[in-house]
Amino acid sequence: MANIMKTSKRQLTFVADLNKCIGCQTCTVACKKLWTTGPGQDYMYWRNVETTPGKGYPKNWQTRGGGYKGGELQKGEVPPMIDYGVPFEFDYSGRLFEGKPGRVRPSPTPRSAPNWDEDQGSGAYPNNHFFYLPRMCNHCTKPACLEACPNDAIYKREQDGIVMIHLDMCKGNKACVKSCPYSKPYYNPQTQKSNKCVGCFPRIEKGIATACVAQCVGRAMHVGFIDDPMSSVNKLVRQWKVALPLHPEYGTEPNVFYVPPVLGPGMEDGVGSVSDQPKIPLSELQGLFGPDVQEVMKMLKMEREKKLKGQPSELMDTLIGRRSADMMLSPLT
């Protein structure tokens, strides 16, 4: 092990409600504009939203290895640049003002991009389905990136558990890129160092929510400290236990959690009547969020029913989030 992992005193935690994310990419753009406009960062989306099922960003990130198996750090692969999508440009001035022949086309011709397979999903009509999966660094409790770095350049902040790269110490050997099973550190070819989500730490230090959460138009995102019993993240993860980590089997103990999507029942093929099977096969959700997803779905359906009947449901009220302040670092102690 290269680094000694210290536990942080507090842990910044995120919850995404997949029943509310509409895939508008506002969080993606908010993050992009704030953090990755520098040299070599064009292709990086620290925050992205991908259609699921789908190949994701970078393409096929779920098959690249990394994380832990039986407590042992696993070596993964560095995704090829084409799987992130090579940034392209439009030669507007050449075509429109300098008389160059041909139509305005992106160059180089795009062969991949974040959310390349947008809204394709899977399944056959009438049971085709998809949902949106917002992704970011999980600021893991056991960060594989930190453990893999041979230069001790990655650390976990004591005050909030945000996982950071110390750029002065990073030598750009990509061990973090290989070892993160979520493909969330990015190698910067211009600076020859790795970059990753910094958890909007300057905002957090002032008690302001991260840009991705603050800008979410669907009020699908929650952020707060997990040890704060009044925070919505504590309620959803610890009290109601309806928010689950993505791929818990990767072993890094993520601190981004997901309320799984409840799409309702599918239809009987060729008959048109409602089937007794869920529209999204349970196995698909279990493959993403682990075996607890079945119980969580039952709980969500039960509380939703209560609300529909006009009965009180603290869980549904927390998920609805009538006051956005209740979903973001509130109350911050």
By rule CB under 6 A, what string of x and - marks binding of each residue 100-139 to ligand SF4? -------------------------------------xxx
Shortest distance (Å) from residue 154 CB to ligand SF4: 7
Residue 203 binds ligand SF4 (CB under 6 A):
no
- Show the tokens assigned to 284: 């698909």
Q: Could you say which of 15, 16, 145, 216 contacts ligand SF4 (CB under 6 A)?
A: 145
Residue 184 binds ligand SF4 (CB under 6 A):
yes
Residue 140 binds ligand SF4 (CB under 6 A):
yes
Q: Could you say which of 185, 245, 266, 321 contacts ligand SF4 (CB under 6 A)?
A: 185
Residue 257 binds ligand SF4 (CB under 6 A):
no
Shortest distance (Å) from residue 184 CB to ligand SF4: 4
Give, in order, the Cα–Cα distances in Å from 234 to each of 14, 15, 288, 330.
10, 10, 21, 11
Shortest distance (Å) from residue 304 CB to ligand SF4: 31
Within 13 A of 310's CA, how many CA atoms are on the CB side?
0
Shortest distance (Å) from residue 318 CB to ligand SF4: 25
- Can you spell out the DSSP letters for 194-263? EE---TTHHHHHTT---HHHHH-TT--EEEEETT-TTSHHHIIIIIS---EES-GGGSS--SEEEE----
Residue 163 binds ligand SF4 (CB under 6 A):
yes
Nearer to ligand SF4, 53 or 185 (CB): 185
Choices 51-59, 78-86, 94-102, 179-187; region in contact with ligand SF4 by CB under 6 A = 179-187
Residue 48 binds ligand SF4 (CB under 6 A):
no
Choices 46-54, 93-101, 177-185, 276-284; region in contact with ligand SF4 by CB under 6 A = 177-185
Nearer to ligand SF4, 199 or 261 (CB): 199
How deeply is 7 buried, as exposed, middle or buried, from its count of CB atoms within 10 A (0-12, 13-18, 19+)? exposed
Find tokens 């048109």 and name the residue. Answer: 272
By rule CB under 6 A, what string of x and - marks binding of each residue 206-225 to ligand SF4? --------------------
Shortest distance (Å) from residue 155 CB to ligand SF4: 11
Residue 180 binds ligand SF4 (CB under 6 A):
yes
The site for ligand SF4, by CB under 6 A, has a size of 14
Q: Could you say which of 196, 203, 219, 222 contacts ligand SF4 (CB under 6 A)?
A: 196
Residue 13 binds ligand SF4 (CB under 6 A):
no
Shortest distance (Å) from residue 197 CB to ligand SF4: 7
Residue 252 binds ligand SF4 (CB under 6 A):
yes
Nearer to ligand SF4, 14 or 225 (CB): 14
- Among the listed residues 219, 55, 226, the one whose alpha carbon sits nearest the alpha carbon of residue 138: 226
Q: What residues line the site for ligand SF4 (CB under 6 A)?
A: 137-140, 143-145, 163, 180, 182, 184-185, 196, 252
